[in-house]
């Protein structure tokens, strides 16, 4: 059986996709972080820890919207990653120098 790729719309319709509020990624980094944390913790279909689930949702959005985001908006969404780390009591990310 050949491997097929799902479109973004199909991925959102997948039964394991969490229910995210429309416009969730339009808020401040703090609002985005809190909303993703809440969504990841409340998702009954989540199989693992809520932190990687929340970070995956944010990365999924960043990867799909990437070229359409302004530099300022991308920076705000990258800041939301730091907010998520704080909310989940994880150490800050230290990029390679």
Read out DSSP for 29-70?
A: HHHHHHHHHHHHHH-TT--S-HHHHHHHHHHHHHHHHGGGS-
pLDDT in tens, 65-90: 878 999 999 999 999 999 999 999 99
CA distance 59 to 50: 14
Domain ranges of the chain: 26-87
Residue 88 is predicted with a pLDDT of 96
The tokens for 7 are 């479109």
**What is the reported pLDDT for 2?**
62
Span 12-22, pLDDT tens digits: 454 455 667 78
Per-residue pLDDT tens for 12-56? 454 455 667 788 899 999 999 999 999 999 988 878 899 999 999
């Amino acid at each position: 059986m050949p491997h097929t790729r799902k479109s973004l719309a199909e991925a959102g319709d997948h039964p394991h996709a969490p229910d995210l509020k429309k416009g969730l990624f339009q808020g401040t980094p703090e609002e985005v972080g809190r909303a993703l944390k809440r969504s990841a913790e409340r998702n009954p279909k989540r199989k693992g820890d809520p932190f990687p689930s929340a970070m995956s949702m944010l990365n999924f959005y960043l990867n799909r919207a990437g070229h359409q985001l302004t530099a300022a908006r991308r920076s705000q969404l990258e800041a939301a990653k730091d907010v998520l780390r704080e909310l989940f009591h994880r150490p800050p990310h230290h990029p390679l120098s």
